[in-house]
Chains A and B, each alone.
Chain A
């Protein structure tokens, strides 16, 4: 075990620890999610407190501790926060990016390079202010779900695989569904909404940015519903999985 290590990461979350310290949660390039103590960062004299705020992309050195690793040095790589915090729509979109990344990277120390690249790319786009923040968020969420293995089917039927285009979308089934597989209660998005989702998934910005607000709202709603359904299912099933494992060991 190395006593000192280094990585580049995005600060996802900060929590207070004791009187002057913080626990920092980072999504890092090489080590996945890392939680570490940053000592003294809530004092005005702190050398690196301001660099360890949410949205910061930082190069960090850690000392391996007994329970929590300890931050010993921080350099700023990209100060994404300055382009985000003064603009409410960008700020809320960026918060959703960080929260989703935190939820999807459940295991500390498990490499998550693809998710790290998606988060850095989304924050860079939000900070750069060139694109609609709602579209950046939706593109990020679609690709993050792909990282998690839950990408919605958009062109073929999620149940039987029949090539589309299809006209119905079912979150529990996993995306687009054909007329034969369509369950009761499936949504009936417009053809433009399916094109919009495909454009966001594949980075086709001219198509995505050319869509009217009604299509944008419908595609955002489907993406949010798909993500929420999977995150809630994940949380409900997790305790059962852990109990089963213990039972097997005994």
Chain B
């Protein structure tokens, strides 16, 4: 049972956890290709900023991770330039095929990863995603993963980190408050934003 830095060999495990926890801790349903969740919310982070990623490993394997982007605006530009083109053939932007709404949304996001961060959270330019399988929840793992991330972000000079979470995901919101995040104001309906200053 240990928190350790991400290694390239963890890529598939991180992808799997991302898929398994995508919808407030459970998998998203109805997607023609569930891997698209990992392509949007895990792949670009561990590919472009692996040094900010940490995993929690128990006797059954990797059971949780934290991933992040140091500068959300620069990360988004790199995503558009280097990540989106990889999926032009396999997951093209939505057209008039009858894909489910969630799939169309993810494919639009994959090719156009626009976030409110740049203008709404200038004091918290980094952002993170943290996901734990059910067996790793409630034992302080999340807090330790975040502490590892905060140390990495401080070492790289980030003044603050934010995250976005669905307003109905009350378990996650309670966790972020307990860890010390403060709620930020976002214009985006349905989402709550939380921030942590690191200076």
Give me the interface of A with B, judged by CB distance under 8 Å. 1-2, 4-8, 29-32, 59, 61, 77, 109, 111, 113-114, 117, 120-122, 124-125, 128, 131, 136, 139-140, 143, 201-205
Contact = CB atoms under 8 A, between A and B. Distances in A.
Contacts of A5: 116, 119-120, 187
A117 B94 contact: yes
Nearest to B114: A8
Interface stretch (B5-13, B33-41, B100-108): B100-108
Contacts of B187: 2, 5, 30-31
Contacts of B167: none
B138 interface: no
Contacts of B119: 4-6, 61
Interface of B: 93-99, 101, 104-105, 108, 112, 114-116, 118-120, 185-190
A121 B94 contact: yes
B120 A136 contact: no
Contacts of A77: 112, 114
Contact of B189 (A30, A114, A117, A202): A30
Given A29-B108, A59-B114, A117-B108, A139 B96 contact: yes
Contacts of A2: 120, 185-187
Contact of B114 (A6, A109, A201, A204): A6
B111 to A, nearest CB: 9
B181 to A, nearest CB: 18
Contact of A121 (B96, B188, B189, B190): B96
A14 to B, nearest CB: 21
A125 B120 CA distance: 33
Contacts of B94: 117, 120-121, 124
B interface secondary structure, majority = loop
A130 to B, nearest CB: 8
7 contacts: A2-B120, A7-B116, A31-B187, A32-B189, A124-B94, A125-B96, A131-B96
A121 B114 CA distance: 17
Given A4-B120, A8-B112, 20 more contacts: A1-B185, A2-B187, A5-B120, A6-B119, A29-B114, A30-B116, A31-B188, A77-B114, A109-B189, A117-B94, A117-B101, A117-B104, A117-B108, A120-B94, A121-B97, A124-B94, A124-B95, A201-B98, A203-B98, A205-B97
B120 A120 contact: no
A145 to B, nearest CB: 14
Given A4-B119, A8-B112, A8-B114, A111 B189 contact: yes
Contacts of A124: 93-96
A22 B86 CA distance: 38
Nearest to A60: B114
B99 to A, nearest CB: 8
B105 A6 contact: no
Nearest to A77: B112
B185 to A, nearest CB: 5
Contacts of A143: 98
A114 B190 CA distance: 15
B116 A203 contact: no
Contacts of A114: 101
A125 B94 CA distance: 9
A125 B95 contact: yes
